[in-house]
Amino acid sequence: AQSVTQLGSHVSVSEGALVLLRCNYSSSVPPYLFWYVQYPNQGLQLLLKYTSAATLVKGINGFEAEFKKSETSFHLTKPSAHMRDAAEYFCAVSLFITQGGSEKLVFGKGMKLTVNP
């Protein structure tokens, strides 16, 4: 069964520092992978997605992620953190629903990012 693992629950960085959020996946078929962000008291916003095209995926707000099949990883990075990046970040893998409809998403437990001034 497809799944994703986000080790740890909290990452703290200084403003201007590199952001690295780790995600490892398990999938028996070529995976479609996603990163979502959730700001306090809000729903989920898509940051970026990998759908088997380019392995380096660029998303919104300066984030990018690289799909590495050999490492079964899809880590999220941003070169320079801003205060506004403070939020919770979720990695997800999609499972195709065969009876019509769309994909369903299987999420990791999330990683809370704190950005210190």
Which parts of this chain interact with another protein (CB under 8 A)? 9, 32, 36, 42-46, 49, 51, 90, 92, 94, 96-97, 99-110
Q: How far is the CB of 49 from another protein (least distance, A)?
A: 7
Placement of tokens 């403070």 in the chain = 86
As a whole number of angstroms, the distance between CA 1 and CA 29 comes to 9
Three-class secondary structure assignment of 56-77 = EEECHHHCEEEEECCCCEEEEE
Q: How far is the CB of 90 from another protein (least distance, A)?
A: 5
Q: How far is the CB of 47 from another protein (least distance, A)?
A: 11
As a whole number of angstroms, the distance between CA 30 and CA 117 comes to 40
